[in-house]
Amino acid sequence: MNNAQSKISLAFQTFMSEAPQQAQAWATLVQGLGEASALDKKTQALAYLAVLAALGPESGIPFHVDLARQAGASREEMISAILIGLPAAGHGVTQVLPTAIAAYDAA
């Protein structure tokens, strides 16, 4: 398993291997939405991290932190993106901080 694959959650790896047609359809949708966005890649990646933090699934955090870092996001920008949802979503967003910081620092 390469470094990029190691950041993909087991649930998503299972989805890709056990339901390849649905996974391909999902990937096509995600790519199309990304291409339709008026946001630059870094802003998109940071916004996505904010949404993940608000929803709470930690499993996707390492992968999406890596995307944000590759798009040029600093450690501080990544932390700020996660915490931007604090007033609306509550302190639950802080639950992903340890995972996000570890993923950023490991890169």
Give pTM, 2 decimals: 0.84
d(CA 92, CA 54): 7
Structural domain boundaries enclosing 18: 8-37
Residue 1 has pLDDT above 70, yes or no: no
Tell me what pLDDT residue 43 has: 97
Same domain membership, residue 48 and residue 23: no
The tally of domains found in the chain comes to 2
Residue 58 has pLDDT above 90, yes or no: no
Same domain membership, residue 105 and residue 72: yes
- Asked whether residue 90 is domain-assigned, the answer is yes
Same domain membership, residue 79 and residue 32: no
pLDDT, tens digit (0-9, with 9 covering 90-100), for 3-57: 555 788 889 899 999 999 999 999 999 999 989 999 999 999 999 999 999 998 8
Inter-CA distances, 93 with 8, 46, 67, 79, 90, Å: 20, 14, 19, 10, 7
d(CA 79, CA 31): 25
